[in-house]
Each structure stands twice: as C-alpha cells, then as structure tokens.
Chain A
Amino acid sequence: MAYYRSTILVSMDPICIEKGALQIKEQIIEELKLQKILDEVQILDSPRIGDPETEGPDILVYPEGSHYIALTPESVHPLVVEHFIKGRELAQYSAKMRDLMDEEVREPKDKEVRVILENIGKIDPRNIEDYIATDGYSALAKVLTEMTPEDVIQMVLDSKLRGRGGAGFPTGLKWKFARQAQATPKFMVCNADEGDPGAFMNRKVLEGDPHSVIEGMVIGAYAVGSSQGYVYCRAEYPIAVSTLNVAIKQAKEYGLLGENIMGSGFSFDLEVRMGAGAFVCGEETALIASIEGSRGEPRVRPPFPASKGLWGKPTNINNVETYANIPKIIYRGLEWYTSMGSEKSKGTKTFALAGNVAHTGLIEVPFGMTLREIIYDIGGGIKDGKAFKAVQTGGPMGGCLPTCDLDLPVDYETLGAAGSIMGSGGMIVMDEDTCMVDIARFFMEFTQEESCGKCVPCRVGTRRILEILERICAGGGIPEDIPMLRSLCEEIKQDSLCGLGQGAPNPVVSTLNHFLDEYEAHIYEKRCPAKVCRNLISYHISEEKCTGCTICARNCPVSAITGERKLTHVINQDICIRCGICHQVCNFDAVEVN
C-alpha cells in the first residue's frame, strides 16, 4: 500500500455529478500530475459530503479536514497550488461554519475503540489490495487451512459475539443451528436493510470496508456449509451497492470468493439483492420474503430461518456489523476480543449519535460504557449548553431513557431491562426543549407507516395509539387516554407477529413511565412544558423588550402582528398560527412562548 500524505474525497452525489464533479476530479488528477505530486495524494470517490444543492461539487481533504465547496474548473489550479504546494487553505472555496467532523470520518475520541470502523476512510474500498494490506482475508486463510467448521463455530461461540441487528442472539448458536439443519442447499444472508431514521453504521461499513463483510460471510458459509449467499441491501444505498459489487468482483478475481476458494475446494458465491425501501424488510422473515420476490411481510416463527428460510431451505441471517466482526475475532484471537466489553456482551458496537448532542456522527465503543460517557465524553455534551432530557436508543422501536438512567452501561441486558433496546445502533439525544409526548407521537407515526399491515395489533393498534397521541398534542387529551395508551401498548407488545409490532409501543411506554408529568400537563392543563405542541402554546411580545423594529410584523406569514414603528407590537391570537417565525427573527428576545 502506497503512502499518501493527503487524501482527497470527491463527493459523488448525483447532484454533484450533474454539476460536474467528474470533470473536477479529472482536472485535479491532471493538475496533480502537472505539479508532480500525484503519487503523494490519493483521490477517492465519496458519497455526499456537504449539501450538494448549495455546496456541490465539493471535496474534502484529509488529514487537514479542509472542505472546499462550489468548485469550478477555474478553481482547481489555484486550489492545488495553494493547498498542496504552499500548504495554505484557500479561503475563497472553504466551507464556512461547518463541523467537518460531524458525519463521515472523524478522528476517534479517547474513549472510542475502533474495530469495525478501523479501516473506514483509511483504505480504498474499491481496491481489494488495500484491504489485504491490512491483514484482510488472513482470517479466511486461517479458517480454510487450519480450522474445521466446528472449530469456527466453537470459536464464535466462545467469543460471545451477539447479533448486531438488535436482538443480540448469540451468533455462534445461530450458526450451529444452521449447521445442524439437514436440508440442502443452505443460504447465507447479510441483512443490510438499515432503516432506522438517522442510522448509517452499516452503510459506512459497506461503503468503506466491504471486504470485511464479505470475508465474514465466507467464513460463516464455511462454518454452516452454505454455497450461496445474498446481501440484502436497501436501494437507497446506491454507493454501498456499487462498492459491494466491485468488491465481490475483485474477491472473485483473487480467488477469495466463488469456486474453490484459495484452492481449498470450498466454494461460495455471493450476490447483492436490493430492497425497495420497506423498513419491515429488516425483519429476517420479511427480508426472506422480499428476496423471494414476494411482498415484504414477516412470517410466523417457528419455523426459524435456520431450519426453513429462503425458499424453504436452512438460512443463516446476520447483520452487516456481525459479519464484519468475524474476521477480526478469528485473526486477532479470542483473548483480544473478549477483553473488550461487558460480561455478557463482548466486543464493540457502533452507534450513530444524533440529536441535540454537540458532536453527532458515527462512534464505536466497547460494550459496557455508560450512556453518560458516550453522550458527554464522546458526543461532547448537549448542544448549546442546554440540559439533557432523554436519550433514545435502538431506533424507532427503542425507549427513551431519562437522566437517572445515564449511568447505565450500554449492553443488551441493561438497555432491555431499562425499557429500551440495543437495536442496530441508533442513539438520539434530546435536550430540555424536546416534548416527550411529541417524540412518542413522532415514533408512532413512523412505525404505523412502516407496519406491513399483516397482523391486526400492529396494523390497527399503532394507528389507534397515534390518533390518541395526536389528540393529546392538539390539546384534546382526556384523562382516560393514559390508561388506554397503557393497555393498548401492553397488548400490541404481547400480541404482534414480529419485532416491529412487539417493539412499536416502546417509545410510548418509556415516555409514559419516565415523563408522565408531561402527558398530564398536556391533558389536564392543556400545556406543553417544552413549548413544542403548537395548539398548546401561544406567542406574546414583551412590552419591556420590544423595540418596535417591525421585523416580526414583516416576517409574519399571516399578518397577525400589528404595531407602529418604535412602539410595542401585538400578536393577534385569533390569527396567529404559532409558526414561531417571529420568535426566531426577533433580535431582542422580545417574543415569548407561553
């Protein structure tokens, strides 16, 4: 692997390409050649970097972390000269006010341990040699030459690796069941249908380090005795799909996939199948139905996929991150792996940190780290110095945990006991300005839209809960709503067919448990303590603070504000639609929310 002093990531968002990103890339290469530094700077394609509408085409330069936006053909020459020859940032094209560390590749914080994200941003995902240079496929070689399938399963069992898709089922046990199944052929499936809002851990792995997943799958296939695998990836991840396809092609060319892998006589083929954007297809039986070409709806288990899965044959399904763990465990050994994590949950877990936290983005931590450490030490605390209110883990099926749960260690059991779930790794932090009733309503809106509609509790139950929550938020709540919500939640949890329905009530149950006072304020006092629910708030202009600058009146979309210049303005409550624009535009904080 060559050493580069800098890496340029070129945004290949479709809009950027439309705006000429490909030509810019060509020009940069030409210019670097001209300056004779092409061997010092690596150029990689990247998914979206900045907002392509306003900032594209744009590039990101590492390790400096410079983000250059709105590039034109004329800009390339001065940029290369200034940045790479003279070592100065070219202010003219620099992005302003942007936290470059937010989403894609950020330097790890002290407490982070990067195992899964280790290679991301460091190797070229479209070049298999980069992966091999980081000891890639050594684990596969070890498996094929030194280990029996039983050895592999035993090792995965001993590593206590648990499914990263959310349920945390021991991976070794899953493989064992698939191995024991009598019928043939057997299938390996990788679940890359990441659908939690705001979560993109799996996308990053597929885009940045696809071979780790492929290697994990080949090892798994050897262990369970499968010769055909599928990666089920959502169609909304076009770069992940194309990167994967390139990686599969290269792995086949290198004899690491396909017929007679590494001359061992073991064969395994892999294909990518695309999902059409249904959240429920992340559920393993719905995913199977979707690969088979049916409507993506879960089936009742048992039979479990390990005995009857894809086309009725034994099928092993694991998440992207689970497979990515496998090569590391095999190559670096049990001692290393089990040294990380808590007693029952070993290794590390990636999270997509989002919400009102100072530094959002992908992180990776060992199991057992507390929520406080994650939010404050890694996430940099709450944005704008506000107070923490709750953190929601595990995507739309997770619960909201309040301040008193901040010192809980993050692992499957603890989060489950606290009324939330590990999920695939979404983590949304909420500050004091968040209305918990509104949050419950938001998640319920998501699940009821994403419910497949097969079973009654999920199809109708989530709809009924949503209607009640909408009513409460709109000021029409009645005291009976709380017991009704509780009983609906309990039944939906108990009676639903798949994990989506069984988990759907979690945001409601957890907010009812921890933030009942907010529900009561909405219902009894018709008041939204966080001042979020429009029907329950009103805007007033403070006589002391108003300077009569007229900015609020000019910006009001419904002309509800009247007042003479340099005199106190007044909001007509009958006309006001509580859009909050006056509150935002006032330069003197004169608009108050009640």
Chain B
Amino acid sequence: MIKLTVNELPVEVELGSTILQAVQKAGFNVPTLCYHPKLVPYGACRLCLVEVEGARTMQPSCTVPATEGMKVHTDTEKTKAARHFVLSMLFSERNHFCMYCQSTDGDCDLQQAAYNEGMNHWPITPAYKPYHVDISHPDFILDNNRCIICRRCVRTCSELVGNHTLGIEERGSANILVADGNVPLGESTCISCGNCVQICPTGALFDRRSMYQGRETDLTHTKSVCMDCSIGCYRVVKTRDNRLVRIDGDMDATFADGLLCEKGRYNPVKESRVRVNEPLIRRDGELQPISWEDALNVVSTQLKAHDSAEIKAYISGRQSIENLSAFQSFFKENYKVGQTALFGHDESAAVSVELAREFGAFESNLGALVDADAAIVLGADLIKDYPVAGFLLKRKPSDLFNLVMVTKEENKLADNFSNRLVTVGKNFQQIVDLLSCYKEGGACPETDQIIESESLKAHRAYQLLESIQSWYHAVVIIGKEFAKFENLETLKKLIRYSQKVGWKVVILKGDTNSFAASLLGLELNPEVGDSPVAFYALGDGHACHHALVGMKNSGFKIVQTSYMDEFAELADVVLPCKIWAEEEGHYLTTDGRIELNRQALTAGSQQRSVSEVLTCLSEKSGFSLQLDWQAVVTDKISSIVLA
C-alpha cells in the first residue's frame, strides 16, 4: 500500500494506482475527458491536471502513478486556472454551440465540466473552420465540428474492438478524426458495433435513430443481457414512453468491457417486421381475428385429437429458460409428444453436454480468451456469429498473438495477425495432429504436404508452428462446424490432448439459450418431418428454412410468434407473442452464467409469453407444469464448465 495526501487528507492506495484513483478514494473529484475506465489512460485532454508538490509542471492525474509521500492538490488556484484554460481552449477550437447539439444537458462531458467549473461564457472567441458532417453510415453520424479529439473512439476501435478503423489524421490544430485514412464512415471497414458512439463524451459521434429523442435522464434505463447470441454481453435497454429508444453496452460490467456488437446494439432497434397484435385463425383460407379463449380451445382440441407421439413441437433458442422449461414440461413430460426441439442445425451445446459425461467439467469460461496468447479456432466464425468474442481476440497485439483457424468459409479474423495458420475446409483432425506433433517437440514429417494441400502461407505457418512451445495461455475455441456428434471421437481426442498440455477449451453453443435447452432435454439439430399437428413457438426469432420445409407438409399448424412472417403466413392458428423486452426471463450463456433479462417494455393486452400460453393450455388439459428449472439447469452447469 502507498500512503499519500490529497488536499492534506491522508489516503492509502494499492501499488500501481494512479493519482486519479487516489483522489477519488479520498473522496474528491477531478473532471476528466479523455479518460475512460475501460481504456488505457492517455493523458491527452489535460483536464484532470493536479498539482503535485515538487513537480515542475502540472501532472495528469489519470496517468501518473501515486507514489509514497506524494502531496497532491486538486483545488488550488493553479489547478482551477489549468482547468479553465483547457476548457477555454476546447470551446474555442470548434463549434460547441450547445443549444443545437443533440448531446446536451448532462449527456455531454465537455458541457458538464464547464458547468462544474462555473463557466458561463467563452473566454476566447471560437475561431474554427466548419467540417462536413459525415452521414454516410446507416447507424450513426460523425460530426467533426463537435469533436474534441480526445480519441476515446479511436482507442475503443483499436484497444477494445481491435478493428482499427478510426484514426487521427494531420498534425496540430489540423487534427481530424477519420475512418481508414479518410473515407466516409459508411464506406469504411467499420463493423458498426457502435462502441465508439457510446464512448464519445460529446456530440461528435451520435446515434441516428435515437438522436434528439431525449437525454439520458429522460430515458428509462433497464440493465439487461443481450440475447442475440450465447456470449451473453451486458447491455442497458433505454426506453421512453414504452418505446425502445436505444441499446447501449453496460460499461459497469467487467465481462468483455461492456462491449456490444452490431447485432446486440442495433438489430432490436432496426426491427421492421409487422407485429401480431391478436390471435388469428385460418378461415376460408384467410387469417382472421379470434379471441384468445376460442383460439386456445381450438389448439387444445387439435392437440387432443391426434396421437401425441406424432405431434412435433419446436421452439426458438431466443426464448428464456422459463419458457423453454414450460415448453418441455408441457409437451414432453406431460403430453409426451414425439419431438420437442429447437429450431436450427447447431448441436454444439448437446455435444458439449455429451463430452462432459466423459470429461466432467472440461470447459473454460470466456475469460480464457482475454488471457490467451494463442487461439486455435476450429469451425467457429467469430466475426459473424460471436462478434464480441471476436473482439477479445482481434484486439490482441498483431505480432504477439498466434492464431490457428480452420473454418468452412474465410473470415476476417485472420487479417489481424501475422503469426497465423489459417485454412478453409473441414480438415480439423489434420491440423490438430500437426499442432500436437510440433508441441511434442518433433517436426512433423507431413508438414509440407499439409501446408501444400491446405494452400497455407508456408513461411507464416512454419513461423507459427515453431513458436508453439512458447504458448503459455492457448485456448481452443470450438464452433458449430466442428462440434458435431459425427466428430465426437476427434473431439474427445483433442480434449484429452488439450488437458494434457494445458490448453483451455471453449465450446461456443449456438443460439442464445441452446445450452439451457440442451440441459432441459430438448433436441438440437432435429430431423424435421411432417406431422398431423405441429406447434411452433417462434417468438421474436427469425424463420428457419429447415423447419419451414417440414411445416409445409404438416397438418394443423399452430404458430406463436411476435411478427407476421413466413411461419405465420402458413399457420392455421397464430398466437401473438411478447418480444424479448416485454418479459422477464433467464438466459444461460455459453460459459455457464445464468443471466436475467429484465422487462423494459409493456406488451399489448393481447400479447402473451410462451409460458403464459402453455399454462392456459395445460389448465385446459388438466396438467400441471413443472416450472422448477433451476434445479435441473443450475446443478448441471458446474459439471460442464469450470468456474
């Protein structure tokens, strides 16, 4: 521990703490602009300057380490003058006319800092040349006139996301924020994750859809978890008057630094499908409104009219554990239908459960990606399917990270690394053999042949293979293309080997709640056939063509969905469903965290959740649903994923 004084007040901080941390611990406040807790301290804006006794100049508290016996002052004439100067400079630099800016009254760190310093005018008349506003991006707008060049966005783009799109061009007062060496944002390599927009302290980068729709304080903030894939990023759902305004990452979360990807941030607000507002039934070939009571009676009658073993029921992986468990209880345990399954082809979660039978808890959590110095990615597209997991790898220093990747299609993850062995195809076994051969210390006689047959860049591949002994934190990431029952023996061999050499293993488990579904006993990657009665609990998910084919040949089709889509068009009965934001529910992430999705919006009077519908149906049939999912799910997690 280090002892120092802040404004004469003694305070103790841990070794390695900055002055800023000490100041905050002592209960004082220093304004900051370029500082952000998720980014490496940068010391550029100079707003957090403090006086340190004995120092020649003012010291930036965000970067300077606290040292023993240091005497820090945050509220002297000199510090006030410095803050006043920095703010005057910033306000004189570009167009900071607050009244026309969408980020104002509490949403702008610059404005707030000026208020806190008691500034009520510009000491120096602004002298700036106007910049073009870049409106080329579909999701957000870049207004360089509002930019204070703190580079939080640039650092986010490279330090956190690893995309390196944003940068600063020109020198001195000509500094300007650009994408890819000055192309319009919409034409750049931007992947639209929007993290830069969220982190911008002023109104330079702002969201297209939510601009001028209310300040942060006008919006209702609901902390929640993302369900657009099974990574489980934390997000804050921002609503106003029962309307979804914007989704932001939860920067208070430690997991993945509160980052979101395009799917998690923008997909829900981009939703353009038409909602189903009341139950519908097909009469004379047309879907026509019907009351809930009548609709449920029709469904109940149809279910009873057929042999339950022939009935098939499907549910979307986006549904909460509560809904999945009600679904399984109703159809499988009580009704004993022939098939209860999840839409889609991804059976990785079931494979993981199967592997755990032999190996016990063999999987690591996603923290393994953060610490990794090498990754062996087998059959997973981290860029498209799990972008945030991709960020955790992409942001690694290009020269110091080793990437081995076998995927069905090319993806851009490889572009970030110079030490790489990347091949397109399905020859997982061959590459794993190659790696283990080098790991064992011998050169593999077939190396040349493999490198040639897989058309690998030979010098890069050899460079990587020779460095294999110095991988201390390697992680094996397995995705849906490899995690299949047909590869079970190969997978077992790989896991056995990984355990031997200390490589961590992560299996990415498909849809949001596939893991939970698998634990509850739902079928993954089902064979889809016709049936006399079929129940599709699609919710707010997207139609799966695989299931649609089976649906076309089925008899009576019941669809519970939020939107009028291809399933609804084919259905005999359509039951309106709540969307993700309208009901509370739990989600099990790929690495075994159980997270709560909180309700942020109120559904219409006619929209019901899957479990509400199934509860009504079970009452009609005289069943009682087993809804105690916790006992089933929670107990099993620890036997699969290491804590």
> Which A residues form the contact surface with B (CB < 8 A)?
278, 280, 295, 299-300, 302, 448-464, 467, 487-488, 491, 493-497, 502
Contact A457 B86 (CB under 8 A): yes
Contact B168 A453 (CB under 8 A): yes
Smallest distance from the beta carbon of A296 to chain B beta carbons, Å? 9
Smallest distance from the beta carbon of A308 to chain B beta carbons, Å? 11
C-alpha gap A581/B64 in the complex (Å): 56
Other-chain contact of A457, B42, B65, B89 (Cβ < 8 Å): B89
C-alpha gap A451/B41 in the complex (Å): 21
- Which residue of chain A is the closest to B43 with respect to CB atoms? A300
Contact A300 B171 (CB under 8 A): no
Q: Is B81 an interface residue (CB 8 A)?
A: yes
Contact B172 A302 (CB under 8 A): no
Q: Is B82 an interface residue (CB 8 A)?
A: yes
Contact A459 B173 (CB under 8 A): yes
Other-chain contact of A462, B60, B170, B172 (Cβ < 8 Å): B172
The segment from B44-52, B249-257, B545-553 found at the interface with A is B44-52
Contact B171 A451 (CB under 8 A): yes
Contact B173 A300 (CB under 8 A): no
Contact A494 B78 (CB under 8 A): yes
> When A464-B92, A502-B57 are in contact, do A456 and B175 touch as well, CB less than 8 Å?
no
C-alpha gap A497/B170 in the complex (Å): 18
Contact B63 A453 (CB under 8 A): no
- Which residue of chain B is the closest to A452 with respect to CB atoms? B171
Contact B63 A300 (CB under 8 A): yes
> When A454-B44, A455-B46 are in contact, do A495 and B92 touch as well, CB less than 8 Å?
no
- Which residue of chain A is the closest to B60 with respect to CB atoms? A300
C-alpha gap A497/B64 in the complex (Å): 12
- Which residue of chain B is the closest to A449 with respect to CB atoms? B172
Q: B167 to chain A: which residues have CB within 8 Å?
A: 295
> When A302-B64, A464-B89, A495-B82 are in contact, do A456 and B45 touch as well, CB less than 8 Å?
yes
User: Can you show 15 pairs from A to B with CB atoms below 8 A apart?
Assistant: A295-B168, A299-B43, A300-B42, A451-B171, A452-B172, A453-B168, A453-B171, A453-B173, A456-B46, A457-B89, A458-B172, A459-B93, A460-B93, A464-B127, A497-B44
Q: A493 to chain B: which residues have CB within 8 Å?
A: 57
Q: Is B458 an interface residue (CB 8 A)?
A: no
Residue-by-residue, is B48-84 near A (CB-CB < 8 Å gives 1, otherwise 0)? 0100000001101001110000000000001001100
Q: B93 to chain A: which residues have CB within 8 Å?
A: 459-460, 463
Most chain A CB atoms below 10 A, which of B78, B85, B168: B85
Contact A456 B82 (CB under 8 A): no
Smallest distance from the beta carbon of B39 to chain A beta carbons, Å? 14
Q: Is B524 an interface residue (CB 8 A)?
A: no
Contact B44 A455 (CB under 8 A): yes
Smallest distance from the beta carbon of A443 to chain B beta carbons, Å? 14
Q: B42 to chain A: which residues have CB within 8 Å?
A: 300
- Which residue of chain B is the closest to A453 with respect to CB atoms? B175
Contact A456 B86 (CB under 8 A): yes
> When A457-B86, A494-B82 are in contact, do A448 and B173 touch as well, CB less than 8 Å?
yes
Q: What are the 4 closest A-B residue pairs judged by CB atoms, nearest first?
A: A453-B175, A300-B43, A451-B172, A460-B89
Q: Is B149 an interface residue (CB 8 A)?
A: yes
Contact B172 A459 (CB under 8 A): yes
Q: Is B544 an interface residue (CB 8 A)?
A: no
> When A450-B171, A453-B174 are in contact, do A494 and B57 touch as well, CB less than 8 Å?
yes
> When A448-B173, A491-B82 are in contact, do A459 and B149 touch as well, CB less than 8 Å?
yes
Other-chain contact of B124, A299, A300, A464, A494 (Cβ < 8 Å): A464
- Which residue of chain A is the closest to B399 with respect to CB atoms? A311
Q: Is B90 an interface residue (CB 8 A)?
A: yes
C-alpha gap A451/B43 in the complex (Å): 16
Contact B44 A495 (CB under 8 A): no
Q: A459 to chain B: which residues have CB within 8 Å?
A: 93, 149, 172-173, 175
Q: A280 to chain B: which residues have CB within 8 Å?
A: 171
> When A295-B167, A453-B168, A455-B44 are in contact, do A302 and B82 touch as well, CB less than 8 Å?
no
C-alpha gap A494/B148 in the complex (Å): 20
Smallest distance from the beta carbon of A241 to chain B beta carbons, Å? 23
> When A278-B171, A494-B58 are in contact, do A456 and B90 touch as well, CB less than 8 Å?
yes
Q: A449 to chain B: which residues have CB within 8 Å?
A: 171-172
Contact A453 B170 (CB under 8 A): yes
Contact B85 A491 (CB under 8 A): yes
Smallest distance from the beta carbon of A299 to chain B beta carbons, Å? 8
Q: A502 to chain B: which residues have CB within 8 Å?
A: 57
Smallest distance from the beta carbon of B121 to chain A beta carbons, Å? 15
C-alpha gap A302/B58 in the complex (Å): 13
- Which residue of chain B is the closest to A502 with respect to CB atoms? B57
With A451-B172, A453-B149 given, name 12 new contacts (CB 8 A). A300-B42, A300-B64, A453-B173, A455-B46, A456-B89, A457-B85, A457-B89, A464-B127, A467-B127, A491-B82, A495-B57, A495-B86
Contact A497 B171 (CB under 8 A): no
Q: A494 to chain B: which residues have CB within 8 Å?
A: 57-58, 78, 82
Contact A456 B44 (CB under 8 A): yes
Residues 117 to 164 of chain B near chain A (Cβ within 8 Å) = 124, 127, 148-149, 151
C-alpha gap A502/B89 in the complex (Å): 16
Smallest distance from the beta carbon of B60 to chain A beta carbons, Å? 6
C-alpha gap A464/B90 in the complex (Å): 11
Q: A488 to chain B: which residues have CB within 8 Å?
A: 85
> When A460-B90, A462-B172 are in contact, do A455 and B63 touch as well, CB less than 8 Å?
no
C-alpha gap A459/B82 in the complex (Å): 15
Other-chain contact of B46, A295, A457, A463 (Cβ < 8 Å): A457
- Which residue of chain A is the closest to B151 with respect to CB atoms? A454
Contact A495 B173 (CB under 8 A): no
- Which residue of chain A is the closest to B40 with respect to CB atoms? A299
C-alpha gap A487/B77 in the complex (Å): 14
Q: A467 to chain B: which residues have CB within 8 Å?
A: 127
Smallest distance from the beta carbon of B85 to chain A beta carbons, Å? 4
C-alpha gap A154/B170 in the complex (Å): 44
Q: B57 to chain A: which residues have CB within 8 Å?
A: 493-496, 502
Contact B43 A495 (CB under 8 A): no
Q: B174 to chain A: which residues have CB within 8 Å?
A: 453
Contact A495 B85 (CB under 8 A): yes
Q: B172 to chain A: which residues have CB within 8 Å?
A: 448-453, 458-459, 462-463
Contact A497 B43 (CB under 8 A): yes
C-alpha gap A450/B167 in the complex (Å): 18
Q: B63 to chain A: which residues have CB within 8 Å?
A: 300
Q: A460 to chain B: which residues have CB within 8 Å?
A: 89-90, 92-93, 173
Q: B60 to chain A: which residues have CB within 8 Å?
A: 300, 497
- Which residue of chain B is the closest to A454 with respect to CB atoms? B44
C-alpha gap A460/B86 in the complex (Å): 9
C-alpha gap A217/B474 in the complex (Å): 38
C-alpha gap A300/B49 in the complex (Å): 12
Smallest distance from the beta carbon of A357 to chain B beta carbons, Å? 31
- Which residue of chain B is the closest to A493 with respect to CB atoms? B57
Q: B65 to chain A: which residues have CB within 8 Å?
A: 302
Smallest distance from the beta carbon of A53 to chain B beta carbons, Å? 29
C-alpha gap A566/B501 in the complex (Å): 103
Smallest distance from the beta carbon of B301 to chain A beta carbons, Å? 70
Q: B58 to chain A: which residues have CB within 8 Å?
A: 494-495
Smallest distance from the beta carbon of B148 to chain A beta carbons, Å? 8
Q: B149 to chain A: which residues have CB within 8 Å?
A: 453, 459
C-alpha gap A550/B127 in the complex (Å): 45
Q: A496 to chain B: which residues have CB within 8 Å?
A: 46, 57
C-alpha gap A299/B49 in the complex (Å): 15
Smallest distance from the beta carbon of A23 to chain B beta carbons, Å? 41
Smallest distance from the beta carbon of B321 to chain A beta carbons, Å? 44
- Which residue of chain A is the closest to B89 with respect to CB atoms? A460
C-alpha gap A455/B172 in the complex (Å): 9
Smallest distance from the beta carbon of B554 to chain A beta carbons, Å? 60
Q: B85 to chain A: which residues have CB within 8 Å?
A: 457, 461, 487-488, 491, 495
Residues 212 to 241 of chain B near chain A (Cβ within 8 Å) = none
C-alpha gap A493/B174 in the complex (Å): 21
Q: A461 to chain B: which residues have CB within 8 Å?
A: 85, 89
C-alpha gap A510/B43 in the complex (Å): 28
Contact A495 B49 (CB under 8 A): yes
